[in-house]
Amino acid sequence: MKGRRLEFIVLIIVPILWITILEIFAYSSLLIYSFWDTEYLTIIKEFTLKNFVKIFTTPLYYGTILKTVGIGVTVSILALILGYPVAFFIAYRLKKYKNLLLLLIIMQLWISYLVRAYAWKIVLGTNGVINQFLLFIGVIDEPLSILLYSKFALILVLTMAFIAFLIIPVYAMLEKIPDEFLQASYDLGAGRFTTFWRVIFPLTLPGVIAGITSVFALSVGDFVAALLVGGPEGIMIGNIVWSLFGSAFQWTLGAANGLVLILLVAFILYISEKIAARYSGMEI
């Protein structure tokens, strides 16, 4: 018994404590630095709100924050539009192959995100698969520049990178719906569309909200895809923070931008939790 308790402490408790300590240290440092100032590459350890005033009065910063939120919302909506049908077909039309299909969806998450972003860069390039195919069939006369280094490319890559985080929770909710519910709806005269809209979709709302929240949080915090395929149009707040902590050596301003991003995501998580709570009674 003592051996099992010791094993539990070593394998579970110690790693959790270690991660918790690191998280507290990281967020505390971010919070403290955001209220300091930087002058001539020297950090001034005095309380100031100068960084936050600069963020909300400088178009570069608040404009990038708004653009980042817009991109996150767009990616979340596209992930829902594309991901929900995939989850639905796996749950109801392709049950025989559901294990294989779910494995394929999960397997893409095993591949490095950086590798996947580079792969999309190759696909969307002027000599990439899409442009070469369109040239081959005669739809275009010259490669499309919009496919790379644009907001379109960034949104596409983010959607395909994080869509699995919506498919999985939605599929989990679809699997929990008893067949009797659907049969009862059909027996009462409801058609397929009415059954979906009045029965299936409301029961999957907790999964939809969880998926959208995950996709949004991951999208607004991204800077790799924006760096590789976004171009000037695709600069996000993550790129600003990365630059401020890097060559600009504006750690305090970078910390303030990072804190604003964290608070924004935390607010979205809070709202989504409240919305999900309204539908928690509908869970099966």
Per DSSP, the residues of 197-238 read: IIIIHHHTHHHHHHHHHHHHHHHHT--HHIIIIITGGG--HH
Amino acid at 224: V
For 40, left (φ over 0), alpha (ψ -120 to 50), or beta? left
Q: What's the mean per-residue pLDDT of the chain?
A: 88
Q: What does the pLDDT read at residue 284?
A: 45
| Tokens (6 digits) for 264 | 């924004």
Contact predicate 58/260, CB 8 Å: no
Q: Write down the pLDDT at residue 283.
A: 46
Mean pLDDT of 11-40: 89
Taking residues 152-181, report their average pLDDT. 93
Name the pTM for this structure. Answer: 0.88
Instruction: Give dist(CA 100, CA 162) in Å, integer.
Output: 19
Token pair, residue 153, equals 């490319």
What's residue 155's pLDDT? 95
Q: Comparing C-alpha atoms, which of 79, 72, 71, 64 is closest to residue 216? A: 72
Domain boundaries, the chain: 58-282
Which option is the CATH number for 58-282: 2.70.70.10, 3.40.50.460, 1.10.3720.10, 2.60.120.330?
Answer: 1.10.3720.10
